[in-house]
């Protein structure tokens, strides 16, 4: 093994360290091996939803839906494909924040669906999740997910404004 390959040997066979097909620079390896930047960002996203019910992966959602739907996998897939719910995929696993569901019926909240409908044309799945999780000037610097409890109309207006801005 040549000396350049020896420097990369901890990464051999590990695609999770490839960002857009490019290996990180050698001086950054130690920092990224301990916790890649993208992994930290996803952990921050998950933490942002903790105060509003947390998140569930698709398997957990299927178990929750089983009590309310005859075909829970199909129902969840329909919501995800239609982009009626906020979902994002990380490491081949789909996650859904629980704030968007009426937990008693395990159905999507209509106020959240209305907000999502405003944004799906301008944001991909992960951007949409972040939109709910990050502070937003249109809702007085609060996060949309937190503002939904007190003022869903303001969140809808924020979504409309951000869609307008994103469209240019």
Q: Do 3 and 64 lie in a common domain?
A: no
What's the CA gap between 159 and 119, in Å, rounded? Answer: 6
The 3 state secondary structure assigned to the chain is CCHHHHHHHHHCCCHHHCECCECCCHHHHHHHHHCCHHHHHHHHHHHHCHHHCCEEEHHHHHHHHHCCCCCHHHHHHHHHHHCCCCCEEECCEEEEEHHHEECCCCEECHHHHHHHHHHCCCCCHHHHHHHHHCCCHHHCCCCHHHHHHHCHHHHHHHHHHHHHHHHC
Report the pLDDT averaged over residues 25-39.
48
Report helix angle 125-133 to 37-48, nearest 10. Answer: 50
Q: Do 49 and 127 lie in a common domain?
A: yes
Q: Do 152 and 88 lie in a common domain?
A: yes
Q: Do 118 and 44 lie in a common domain?
A: yes
Q: Do 69 and 17 lie in a common domain?
A: no
Q: Do 23 and 44 lie in a common domain?
A: no
Q: Do 79 and 105 lie in a common domain?
A: yes
For residue 128, what pLDDT band results from cuts at 50, 70 and 90?
A: very high
pLDDT for residue 24 is more than 90: no
Q: pLDDT digit string (tens) for 140-149?
A: 999 999 999 9
pLDDT for residue 81 is more than 50: yes
Q: Do 62 and 112 lie in a common domain?
A: yes
Of 1-10, 87-96, 153-162, the least confident: 1-10
User: What's the domain count of the chain?
Assistant: 2
Q: Do 65 and 98 lie in a common domain?
A: yes
Share of the chain above pLDDT 70, in %: 77
Work out the number of other CB atoms within 10 angstroms of the CB of residue 25: 8
Report the pLDDT averaged over residues 5-11.
38
Range of the domain at 45: 36-167
Q: Do 92 and 117 lie in a common domain?
A: yes
Q: Do 89 and 122 lie in a common domain?
A: yes
Residue 162's closest CA among 130, 125, 136, 124?
136
For residue 40, what pLDDT band results from cuts at 50, 70 and 90?
A: confident
Report the pLDDT averaged over residues 71-76.
97
Q: Do 25 and 53 lie in a common domain?
A: no
């Amino acid at each position: 093994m040549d000396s350049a390959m020896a420097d990369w040997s901890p990464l051999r066979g590990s695609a999770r360290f490839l960002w857009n097909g490019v290996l990180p620079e050698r001086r950054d390896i130690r920092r990224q091996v301990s916790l890649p930047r993208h992994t930290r960002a996803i952990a921050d996203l998950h933490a942002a939803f903790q105060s509003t019910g947390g998140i569930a992966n698709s398997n957990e959602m299927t178990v929750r839906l089983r009590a309310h739907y005859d075909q829970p996998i199909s129902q969840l897939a329909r919501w995800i494909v239609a982009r009626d719910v906020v979902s994002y995929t990380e490491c081949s696993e789909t996650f859904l924040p629980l704030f968007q569901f009426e937990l008693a019926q395990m159905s999507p909240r209509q106020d959240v669906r209305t907000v999502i409908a405003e944004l799906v044309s301008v944001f991909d799945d992960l951007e949409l999740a972040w939109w709910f999780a990050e502070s937003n000037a249109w809702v007085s610097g609060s996060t949309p997910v937190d503002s939904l409890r007190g003022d869903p109309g303001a969140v809808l207006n924020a979504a409309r404004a951000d869609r307008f801005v994103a469209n240019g």
